[in-house]
Structure 1
């Protein structure tokens, strides 16, 4: 925790930059909804209609997710954090980290923007139970991973490129990896919530959206 407090204090400007980049992605993703063609909107509407009906039927059947579902979601989060960690190990990976943060914002902005645009307040309610809860933890955890990666990449630039010094990166690398490992543990924990709690909340709201889709 001391390591986390240290990075939050010393790298506040990077956190602000990453957060702004993410928010720009959210806005961009929401605006992308308006760029969909009528055919694309109809395809998405059919897909979501089938999805909501499946969720509602699962509620009636009393189905529960299994360990396989957990590892599907956990693996997705681990891949995201792992890619950020790998990109942070190289100078050329720096733009890739920022692109991933922007894309994460785009995905969330598009999802919420489409649900609200298509289903109004019901879509907003579904977003609040299906998208928001776990992302309140996932997004900050990925922010920490991203800032740690950017910071380490910049440290490599200063050490290897600007000052031409060799060595001296073992301790920063250890701290970077340790911080990423802590975030991975958090992501594994929130995956449990996403698998066993989020579907329950989705089942409460899904019948209303089934009625909206007819």
Structure 2
């Protein structure tokens, strides 16, 4: 039962390092993209964020009615796509692109908040983005490493070494690890659905003061 986890953590350390560095590069790139926005785009973004914070602070309907399965589906689709790309073997570049894009999205979001609201924006990012992503991001990276490892194993055994052995065991290990990450993502999604909105409501009054100083 624990063999897939031991294999992933022990034998694939270089892949973990590579994928983690790729993700962090995406975060940095996303944060730098904020500086490339025009003044008009920054103003539009500021207005959008301002309306969102007012809605959160006033308990807007779109804020209070977060659906667990909608939140979970968003993350599970990402993991599912990684799993499918791993099965396709030729989808290896796609896995790396997805990890990089995930970093870009997070880096851009945090960069926008910090750029518009400085320390208050950073605090909002810490309560609204960081908590569940501290669980989801490692789960996606573990899924990515498992997908890359599975694809490389198929390439080595079938293409480079011309072996025709069964792929059932590697497939079961790969799918079992991915299924475990599904459970982790479901747990993180429950936190994002029911706990994160409460934490956000604690911080948004501070952001409203930044937007509308007395």
Same fold (TM over 0.5): yes
Structure 2 CA distance, aligned partners of 1:5 and 1:38? 50
Displacement of 1:64 in angstroms is 4.2
Structure 2 CA distance, aligned partners of 1:184 and 1:135? 14
Structure 1 portions without partners, runs of 5+: none
> With structure 2 as the length reference, what TM-score do the two structures score?
0.94
Map of 1:50 onto structure 2: 51
Structure 2 portions without partners, runs of 5+: none
How many residue pairs get aligned? The number is 210
Structure 2 CA distance, aligned partners of 1:181 and 1:77? 13
Q: Does 1:34 align with 2:35?
A: yes
Map of 1:20 onto structure 2: 21
Displacement of 1:113 in angstroms is 1.0
Q: Does 1:88 align with 2:86?
A: yes
> With structure 1 as the length reference, what TM-score do the two structures score?
0.94
Structure 2 CA distance, aligned partners of 1:167 and 1:39? 59
Map of 1:99 onto structure 2: 97
Structure 2 CA distance, aligned partners of 1:203 and 1:17? 37
Structure 2 CA distance, aligned partners of 1:75 and 1:188? 9
Structure 2 CA distance, aligned partners of 1:159 and 1:6? 17
Structure 1 CA distance, aligned partners of 2:50 and 2:159? 54
Map of 1:71 onto structure 2: 69
CA contact (8 A) 1:65 1:196 kept: no
Q: RMSD in angstroms over aligned alpha carbons?
A: 1.5
Structure 1 CA distance, aligned partners of 2:88 and 2:118? 44
Displacement of 1:91 in angstroms is 2.0
